[in-house]
Homo-oligomer: A and B are copies of this chain.
């Protein structure tokens, strides 16, 4: 059964799912749902994803949305295929989940604000708010200071191997370096910088960027 990934594969949340499918060597196909012509808020897509957000997967009888729920499902279902993304013990998994949540709760909100204010608003002719940009950058910097300390002790966020904790960071953190032109947030932190080089050297990342170039 080929997994269908519905959405816009160049966007951050669908990319999170695609990266997990690539790491787990799971056959999948992309079904474009084009927000530019309103398909994301159309009746057909809303039946699957009532919030009209990307991505949704269809896998046999299972319809599932929310990127972090999807990556957990496939990491567990194909435990012994491809890269182990969940650790060996319940305690290892707990620490992986901890860092997945740190990304979701602490890093993602201010980082998404930067994307919205610097890239999305201007693209739609709306003015951005310099104060929000300044505050968001400060918040991102504080989170990355904590990552720097953690990554001085372990090679990856949740220990010595690449897991969901690292994978979940890839799609949005990328924006800091290229589209947002704030590479110093990563590069001025020695261990964060080395971690970033390591996780973006993975074939899954390279393939996703090649297949689905970033929209900005």
- Seen from chain A, the residues whose Cβ lies within 8 Å of a Cβ on chain B are 50-51, 62, 64-66, 68-70, 72-73, 76-77, 90-91, 93-95, 97-98, 100-102, 104-106, 109, 143, 146, 149-150
Select A101's contact among B50, B68, B94, beta carbons within 8 Å: B68
The copy count of this chain in the complex is 2
Evaluate contact between A146 and B50: CB separation under 8 angstroms: yes
Interfacial chain B residues near A77, Cβ < 8 Å: 90
Evaluate contact between B51 and A73: CB separation under 8 angstroms: no
Evaluate contact between A106 and B51: CB separation under 8 angstroms: yes
Tell me how far the C-beta of A86 lies from the nearest C-beta in chain B, rounded to whole angstroms: 11
How would you classify the secondary structure of chain A's contact residues: helix, strand, loop or mixed?
helix
Interfacial chain B residues near A149, Cβ < 8 Å: 50
Evaluate contact between A64 and B109: CB separation under 8 angstroms: no
Evaluate contact between A101 and B66: CB separation under 8 angstroms: yes
Evaluate contact between A90 and B68: CB separation under 8 angstroms: no
Among A91, A94, A100, A106, max chain B CB count under 10 A is at A94
Interfacial chain B residues near A65, Cβ < 8 Å: 98
Nearest-neighbor residue (CB-CB) of A13 within chain B:
B105
Evaluate contact between A98 and B50: CB separation under 8 angstroms: no
Evaluate contact between A76 and B90: CB separation under 8 angstroms: yes
Nearest-neighbor residue (CB-CB) of A61 within chain B:
B91
With A68-B97, A77-B90 already in contact, 12 other A-B pairs whose C-beta atoms are closer than 8 Å: A50-B146, A50-B150, A51-B106, A51-B146, A64-B94, A64-B98, A65-B98, A66-B98, A66-B101, A73-B93, A73-B94, A73-B97
Given contacts A51-B106, A91-B62, contact A69 B146 (CB under 8 A): no
CA distance A116 to B103 in the complex (A): 22
